[in-house]
Every structure is written in C-alpha cells, then in structure tokens.
Amino acid sequence: MSDSKLYKTSCMLLDFLSLVRDGLFIENDFTKNFPINSNEFQTKICSLSMPPSHINVILYLAKVKSSPISHIAKKLNISKSNMTPIIDKLIDLELVHRYTDSKDRRILRVELTPKAIELFEYVESAAKDAIKNKISTLSDEDLNDLTSSLDTLSTIFKKLK
C-alpha cells in the first residue's frame, strides 16, 4: 500500500474516532456517557467516587482476571509508586484482592472480588442499554450498515494488536 493511501486511511480513522468520541462518549465521565436515573446506580457507582485510574485497573482486571501489580502498571502506564495507593484504595472498597503468586512469592497479584465482578457486570449492562437506546433511532438499513461496519472494524483492529 502506498504512503499516501496509508496517510489518507490514518486521517479517516482519526476523524472516525473523533466522531465516535464526540457522538457517544464524553471522555472520563461515565455518568454523562450513560445517564442512568436509578437509585441502584447512584448507590452502586456514584458513592464509590473513583478516579479514572482506579476504574481502568478494574476494567483491566475484568478482562485478564488476575495479574501481577507490576504488569498492570506497565499496561496502563501508571508508575509503580502510584499503583500502591490505587490498589490499597480498591482493597479498602473491597473491589480487589491482593495475594502472593503461587509460583513466585516475590510477585504480588491482584484479582477482582465478587463485589467488583458484580459491579462491573452491572455497569457493563447499563452501558450496553444506554448505547442501545442511542442507536435505536437508526433506520433498519443504517443499523445493518453499522453492524456490518463494526464487524469489519473489529476484524481489522484485531489484526493490529
């Protein structure tokens, strides 16, 4: 592929990502992205009042299940010195469990607690419902096009990993 084609594609992709961000998501504000007017949501989420770094750790652990703390720091680009207070806060909130690796006692690992898994599943479900409500205004043709396009994008992005 020519450099000009690569450049044009990268520009289009950047424009697309901006459209998605501006059209669906308000950066770092879940409650504005997915407004949910329920007491249950207020009780479960808003009372925790966690910064994005803490939420990112939970999202990462939801994907990988268990991880050494140093790997989380590296993956999320958080300094190791900042990881300790983040993990301590999540432990205080009963959202993660810290333990020693069974194969190497020098390694500390963390995993989500059942409370965090339940919270993650609740938030994920609420987010999916909110997105469903946003796209429900699309025509059947547009919805089919969106579904097909997302399938294609997912396939391509998996190749970029």
The number of folded domains in the chain is 1
In a domain, 21, yes or no: no
Instruction: Please tell me the predicted confidence (pLDDT) of residue 14.
Output: 74
Instruction: Please tell me the predicted confidence (pLDDT) of residue 98.
Output: 96
Q: Is the pLDDT of residue 27 over 50?
A: no
Instruction: Please tell me the predicted confidence (pLDDT) of residue 39.
Output: 60
- How far apart, in whole angstroms, are the C-alpha atoms of residue 117 and residue 30? 17
What domain range includes position 66?
51-160
In a domain, 90, yes or no: yes
In a domain, 132, yes or no: yes
Residues 6+ apart with CB under 8 A from 97: 91, 110, 111, 112, 113
Q: Residue 121: which CATH number?
A: 1.10.10.10
Q: What percent of the chain has pLDDT over 90?
A: 37
119 pLDDT tier (thresholds 50, 70, 90): confident
